[in-house]
Amino acid sequence: MSNPTPTMRAAVYRRPGEVDVVEMPRPEAGDAAVIAVEYCGVCGTDLHMMLDGWGVRDAVFGHEWSGRVVEPGDTGFAPGELVVGLPSPVCGECRPCRDGRPSLCRGRPEAGVALDRGAFAEYVRATGDRLIAVPPGIDARAAAYTEPLAVALHAVSLAEVDDTQTALVMGAGPIGAAIIAILAERGVATTAVEPGEARSALAARLGATSRPVDSLEAPPHPGATADDAFDVVFETSGARVAAETGLAQLAAGGLLMLVGTGIDYPKLDTNRVILNELRVSGAFNYDPDGFEAALSLIGSGTLPLDALIADDSAPLDDLVATMHRLRAGDIPGKAMIRP
């Protein structure tokens, strides 16, 4: 009598706002490893995929994960080893890859178009080149913060901000909070604009000065700048008004770094951009060594991880409810699912 095929529970996206937690075949190792997922963070992209309908039906999302190797396959990892999953491979040959900008690889998949098999599940499968071992002293919960921290590090890296400059962070959600924490660790004077009470309190705890949204007025003439203008504005909320307001807070020659995605696109004052020689850029994914740098920063003990990561993790069955709480701003830190 043959052994039954091992199964696992996974959260399968069906349609906007609807996810079914079902039994499905557990992945097999072969030339890859099978990993038992310890924690998987809920990303703003996941909200777009599963609440806004950007995702492919029947996909399993979740890409901010840590887990322990169950079957190492041909990867060289040991059973029980704590690992985090790396992003999709890049070609290594196109011009962005050769220029050290793998996040712009011309062979990268378009977000949301693939039938993903992510980590909102009890197990995932990954080849050895898509895994990185977690250094000693970092637990599974902290390790699952690696991916979002790498995103925040990439935005700060592209902005080239230093402690002689001032920064404004629009939105103190998970990525905004991570950027605030990185800037504070680097001694950059940072102000945060966050309408939600819990997230505003988190920004203050991380070292940012808080400003109400209605205190940020655009100078009446597009060639003028605010009295307390900022060198860099990080827009992390994806909200139209935040990008439009943030642009008007820049000093001459300043940079608006767009990090948050949204579906209500801003209308930017191009006259202000021209007259003040402002720069507008976007930050997508990671530096070439982003995951290693994030793990190093996590292991350094200089980040307040207890503030940055939500206290309680939720089971798979509470995934949709957790996403709604995140969107409402009720969860100030990074929300974690524990399959």
Model pLDDT for residues 158-181, shown as the tens digit of each residue: 999 999 999 999 999 999 999 999
pLDDT of amino acid 119: 95
pLDDT of residue 246: 96
In the prediction, which pLDDT does 115 show?
A: 52
pLDDT of residue 269: 95
d(CA 193, CA 37): 35
| CA–CA separation, 324 and 9 (whole Å) | 21
Query: Count of residues for the chain?
Result: 339
Kindly indicate whether the domain formed by 7-144+304-337 is annotated with CATH number 3.90.180.10.
yes
Integer Cα distance of 209 and 189 in angstroms = 8
Measured CA to CA, the distance from residue 93 to residue 115 in angstroms comes to: 25
According to the model, what pLDDT value does residue 213 have?
84
At residue 114, the pLDDT reads: 52
Low-confidence ranges of the chain (pLDDT < 50): 1
Amino acid 2: pLDDT: 57
Q: Check if the beta carbon of residue 299 is closer than 8 Å to that of residue 138.
A: yes
- The pLDDT value given to residue 90: 83
Does domain 152-282 sit in CATH 3.30.1330.20? no
- What is the reported pLDDT for 3? 65
Contacts of 66 (CB under 8 A, 6+ apart): 37, 38, 39, 82, 83, 84, 134, 140, 141, 143, 144, 146
Question: Would you state the pLDDT for residue 110?
Answer: 67
Q: What pLDDT was estimated at residue 263?
A: 78
Give the E-state strand segments of 187-271 in sequence order: 189-193, 209-210, 230-235, 250-258
Strand runs (DSSP E) across 16-173, as ranges? 18-25, 33-41, 64-71, 82-85, 123-126, 131-133, 166-170
335: left (phi over 0), alpha (psi -120 to 50) or beta: beta
Location of each CATH 3.40.50.720 domain in the chain: 152-282
In the chain, residues under CATH classification 3.90.180.10 are 7-144+304-337
Predicted local distance difference test score (pLDDT) of residue 311 = 87
Residue 215 has a pLDDT of 87
199-230: pLDDT as tens digits: 999 999 999 999 988 889 899 999 999 989 99
State the pLDDT at residue 170.
97
